[in-house]
Every structure is written in C-alpha cells, then in structure tokens.
Structure 1
Amino acid sequence: MPGPQAFPRHERLTRKRDFETAFKSGRRSVGSAFICYVARRESQGRKFGFAVSRKVGTAVIRNRVKRYLREFFRTHRAQIDDDTHIVVVARPAAANAGYDQCVREMRRLLGEVEVMHG
C-alpha cells in the first residue's frame, strides 16, 4: 500500500484521450522549460501527465526531468485544486534546469492558470 507521499496510479494520466482533452480544451501556460495544459474534469479527481520528447535530450536527461516533475507533483499536490487534469510538456530548456528551477517554473505556470494555491 503506497504511503501518503506516494504518486499513486489513480493520480496519473495515462490514456491518450485524456491527454488530447487537456490539449484541446484545457487552459495553457507557457514557460521557458515547460508548457502546462490544465483541464477541469468534474468528479474525476486530480490527475497529472507528462510528455518529455527526445528533443529534450538523451534517455538519462528525459528520465531526470520526469523524476523532477513527479517529485514536484508528489510534494505539492495538496496545494493543487481537485478535479483538474494537468499535462506538462517539457521543452528542450528543461534539460538544463535543476530541480529548484523546475519547482519555481511549475509554481508560476500553475499559478497563472489558477489551479495552485499557497
């Protein structure tokens, strides 16, 4: 059983349809390292999805970026509104970003689309 600090499967976006919905009908916020798409989905809970393409870098770099994003959502999910689907697309600049820079940018982007408080 996952602990309270886990990133459980029911909070992950995995289906192509969910990603497409966020891309088409969600609000968008653009930063230097990430693009966030946020779609309100009533009674479906808070869910997160990531897209990190090969344009970002090698497999090692892409996996590091995904780890940073998972850790951000794991530690900040209490400050994010329920019933939102969030898709984060990493841009090539994410390859050179450290964890602290990722956190600052994600907090700013989610604040712009008004889903993160605190």
Structure 2
Amino acid sequence: MGVRKSYRIKKEDEFQDVFDHGQSVANRNFVIYHIERPDAKHYRVGISVGKKVGHRAVLRNQIKRYVRQTLLELKGQLPDQVDFLIIARKGAAHLDMAGTKRNLIHAFVLAGMLPQTALDTPAHSTTK
C-alpha cells in the first residue's frame, strides 16, 4: 500500500521547516533531515528525488517506491515524534531494493533514528 497520507509531509512550508531547522546526516546515496515533534502521534516523512538523480520520471518514481517500501518495513522501529525528509542523491539511481534499504538503514543509524544494531540485520548484510 505504501505510506499513508497521515505519514507524509506534503505542504511546502512543512517541508521547508524541516529543511531549515532540522539536523541533517548523509551517506553517499541519501540525505536525511530530521526534526523533533514532541506532540506527534507518529512520524511524518517527505521524499524528494530531483531531476539530477534521474531525468526520467520512471526512474525517480522507482526510487520513491523503494524508499516507501523500506519505510513500511521499518515502520515499527522508527521513532514516533519526528518529521524527516529523505533526499536522494545521484548514486541512488543505481540501487536496487536491497541496496536502497541498506543505505537508508545506514543513514537512519547515522541520524540516531535507529540503533547501531540495525546495521547487523540479515536484510542489511552483504553477501557479494
């Protein structure tokens, strides 16, 4: 199904607030801006995949689908009182679903939104 509407940041001013006042962390493929919202019932997320990542809408939409699926799989583990933005970098265009999940988990650990042990899960391990 994806990420429900109540879990999304869609308004420009809300997006900008997280962007301007939130803390950021990054790895090669994703940047995460996050800001605390003590009054929130659950987290909210905004996803941005710009044309620099891929000129074709099909590719940008695929990246967003991978990100939403990863969020769905991590739903119970992410903190509730947070708004965050996930911004894809150019390298995200070359990732498959497993690579996207691995990179997002790494970025969430860097942001302090997931415990360090999340990096050790079987979905994150590489067998290449």
The TM-score, its normalising length taken from structure 2, stands at: 0.83
Aligned to 2:67: 69
Q: Output aligned runs, 1:3-14, within 5 Å.
A: 6-14=2-10
After superposing the two structures, state which structure 1 stretch, 65-74 or 19-28, moved more: 19-28
Q: Please say if 1:53 is aligned against 2:50.
A: yes
Q: Where does residue 95 of structure 1 map in the other structure?
A: 93
Q: How far apart are residue 7 of structure 1 and its match?
A: 2.0
CA distance in 1, matches of 2:100, 2:25: 14
Q: Percent identity of the aligned residues?
A: 24
Q: Distance in 2 between matches of 1:48 and 1:74?
A: 12
Q: CA distance change for structure 1 residues 82 and 52 in 2, over 3 Å: closer, same or farther?
A: same
Q: How many residues align?
A: 114
Q: Which runs of 5+ in 2 are unaligned?
A: 119-128
Any idea what SS the aligned residue of 2:34 has? strand
- 2:2 and 2:111 map into 1 onto residues whose CA distance is 25
Q: Secondary structure at the match of 2:76?
A: helix
Structure 1 position 38 matched with structure 2 position 30: no
- RMSD, aligned α-carbons: 1.3
Q: Which amino acid aligns with 1:9?
A: K
